[in-house]
Structure formats: structure tokens, C-alpha cells
Copies of this chain bind each other. A is one copy, B any other.
Amino acid sequence: MKIISNPDYSQQQELLERPQQERANVETAVTDIIQLVKENGDQALFAFAEKFDKAKLGTLRVTEKEIEQASTLVSPELKVAIQTAYQNIYKFHEACYTQDYPVIETMPGMTCWRKSLPIQKVGLYIPGGSAPLFSTVLMLAIPAKIAGNKRVVLCSPTDANGNINPAVLYTASICGITEIYKAGGAQAIAAMTYGTESIPAVDKIFGPGNAFVTRAKELAQQQGVAIDMPAGPSEVLVIADQKANPVFVAADLLAQAEHGPDSQVILLTDSITLAEAVNEQLRIQLSTLSRKQIAEKAIENSKTIVLESIEECVKWSDAYAPEHLIINTENAGDVADQIQVAGSIFIGSYTCESLGDYASGTNHTLPTYGYARNYSGVSVDSFVNKVTYQKATSQGLKNLGPAVEIMATAEGLDAHKNAVSVRLKEIENYN
């Protein structure tokens, strides 16, 4: 990994720039797919399943029997591991969720409160392909379960035999999801946007995907469907000092690098010795990985920046706004407290990102590509709307009404004033 030593501040922006995302050729393909799903509904989905997944599907909805069978295909150890993750994720997400906020009497007789109401219909997209992302099912289905959405729909592509990955089905079933459809890619997003004979249109779509899925979600958003957050390639930034174990640091960088050739990993350190030791470890560990070629490519685009101090590393990290931030330094907790911008933070030598990716309890659906500046990771909040309520008694209206009359008049909005005045008048007459 390229080492840059003590760069000038003026180079910061250039050094921290993310690789440009390629979007060519996606646009037309996605627009065509959406149009076909909108026009032909289920028939278009059958045709796309045959074209893209080589699968001849009889029906789109996964049957109860298929879900039961899937369970028999998941190993007992994996089931226990998934259940452990489920419990941790449930516990943490439930603790971070507020359903009923305190009732506040802002003035005598004027009471306001706020409640979280579940979004009526949500759609979860789980990609297929090389890595069956059952972990993403946990990260989306658990908050949906806590939120209590009336209808939760899951779409995922099948293999050539028309089966969705059994671990995906098993995980969905333990999260209480029963409405699962065989549909992948942009066509699945289109189905959840416009609805088909089988698949309902939903209010909000969640989940990762390739460039086609990402573009389809953007277009869904323009149709009034909400989405979890804008997407980009995954990334990690590690802050490490001379006491950090280079074996751990290299392993963490590679765990991110294996996601895809466009993944970005950045190491910030105050120690050139560590930087070099990490490079040595990268060479050693890379050779053993099954996804070596992918990781190698990602590492090529990545860099180590050596800075004067850990405080400087914090500043550079904030400027980068990393999705994942691993702090592998002395007093890592204090360093974490200084961070202002990140998606999720992993503190200390033993807290590798993989823990959070799967099972620590936090969510792995996080803002990447700089979006940690202005978006939050997925939580139960993502599955609810916060609705406000207010109730005035006659006394409340007497206390607050005159102020509202003055302000409405000053904004030139007579009828706003009048809605108060007719009520105050009635109260007066009544008394």
C-alpha cells in the first residue's frame, strides 16, 4: 500500500478523494427494466429471472414449504451463530429506539407529544450472487420487526434452480418475515416501486446492491418511494499508533478490501514503523485469501498516510468521513470521543470491523462514500415516521392564541389568525 509521509494540509482534499464511481451504460438498461416491470408486471419478472438468473420460475412467492426446507439445509453451527447475532442486534436496536416520547405541556393547557408510527409497507432487497448476504437480512429485518411495520416484503434473486439461498430464507424466517419473493436486481426494485400482480408497491425500500440496483433505487426515490440511504462502495479507515499490532491492522484492511475492487481502505498513523510493518503483513496475509485478486485490486487504490500525531489523524479522518472507523491506539476510547464524523466506530485492539458486520449488535447498513457527513446508518428509526400531536384546552388557547394572532398578522396570513380568533371569541361568549 502506498505510504505518504507527512503530507501538507493543502494536499488533504486530493489525498482523501474517493475513486470516481462508474455509471456508464447503467442508465439505459435500468430505465428499460423499470419500464417493462411497470408495463408487464409479474411476466417481466419471470422473463428477467430467466435472462439474468437462468431460472424458470413457476411462481414468485416463496412457499412455506420452501422456507421449511431451507432450514434443513443450514448447518446447526451456522444457525446458532445467526441466533447469537439476532439476539445482540435485537437487544441493541431495541435499546436505541423510542416509541413514545415524553408528553410536554409547553404552556398551561397546551400539550405536545411525539410518537413513532411504523411505516405501513417496507421492502427489503437482499442481493444474491457470490456472497449470500444473510447478515443483511438480520440488519434490515430486525429493526423492521421492532418497528412493527404492517407489511414487510423481501426480494432476492434465485440460483439457476429457482431457489433463494437457504441461509437467507432461514434468517428471514427467524426474523418473522413470511412474504418473500424471487426477484433480483433493478427489476425487484421496480416491482416494489410500482407493484405487480404478486408484489406490492411499498413506501420505503432498503438494502444494498450493484450499480443497477443503486440506480433503480434512485429512480424509485424520484417516484416518491423513500430509500434507506444513497449508496457507494464500502470503505474503512484505520487510525493506528506504534503500539498497534500490524497483524491486526493488516487483517482489518484486507477484510474491507475483499468486498470489491472498488472498496477503499485508508490507514492513518503517526508511526512510519507501523506503516511499513503493516505493508509487510499485507503481503503475507494476501497470499492466503480466497478473494485475493479482489483484495489486491482494492489495496492498489488505497493508501497509508503518516501524520504527526493521533490528533492530526482524527482531523484527517473527520475530513474523510469514513463509513467504518477502526481506532487501534492507546486510549482508543478518548480518541473516539474526539471524532465528529463517521458511520460506525470500532474501538481498541480487539474490536475488528467484522464484529459489527455480523453480530456485535450495531447495524452494518451505514453511510459510505462521504455520506457519513449527512446521513445515519440504518436503525429502527429508519422504519418509522415520527408523528407529532398537540392538544389545546380552552385555557391553552387563551394562553397561546394571542401570540399566534400577532405572528400570523405579521406574516400577512389573516386566515391563520382567524382560526384562532373565532375560537377565542366563542370562549369569551361562553364565559
Bound CA span A82–B112, Å: 18
Q: A81-B406, A150-B340 provided; 19 other pairs, C-beta below 8 A?
A: A78-B410, A81-B402, A81-B410, A87-B106, A88-B112, A92-B106, A96-B114, A120-B373, A225-B374, A248-B426, A251-B423, A289-B415, A291-B412, A339-B387, A344-B390, A348-B391, A354-B416, A355-B420, A357-B404
Tell me if A98 counts as interface (CB < 8 A to partner B).
yes
Tell me if A58 counts as interface (CB < 8 A to partner B).
no
Is chain A's interface secondary structure helix, strand, loop, or mixed overall? mixed
Q: Kindly specify which of A44-52, A185-193, A393-401 makes contact with the partner chain.
A: A393-401
The chain B residue sitting closest to A136, CB to CB, is B411
Q: Kindly specify which of A125-133, A174-182, A266-274 makes contact with the partner chain.
A: A125-133
Contact A252 B130 (CB under 8 A): no
Q: Given known contacts A110-B355, A224-B370, A377-B386, is B254 in contact with A340 (CB within 8 Å)?
A: no
Tell me if A77 counts as interface (CB < 8 A to partner B).
yes
What are 29 A-B interface contacts by the 8 Å CB criterion? A88-B400, A95-B101, A95-B102, A117-B341, A120-B373, A224-B230, A226-B375, A245-B426, A247-B422, A248-B419, A248-B426, A251-B415, A251-B419, A285-B418, A289-B415, A290-B412, A291-B414, A332-B391, A344-B389, A344-B390, A354-B419, A355-B397, A355-B401, A355-B404, A356-B388, A358-B403, A359-B404, A362-B390, A373-B385
Bound CA span A348–B110, Å: 12
Partner of A379, one of B117, B230, B252, B386: B386
> Number of contacting residues on A, CB 8 A?
132
Contact residues of A between 301 and 352, Cβ < 8 Å to B: 332-333, 336, 339-352
Contact B396 A350 (CB under 8 A): yes
Contact A387 B257 (CB under 8 A): no
Most buried by B among A80, A150, A357, A389: A389
Contact A389 B345 (CB under 8 A): yes
Contacts of A410 in B (CB 8 A): 78, 81, 132, 134, 167
Number of copies: 2
Bound CA span A374–B384, Å: 8
Contacts of A230 in B (CB 8 A): 224
Shortest distance from the beta carbon of A334 to any chain B beta carbon, whole Å? 12
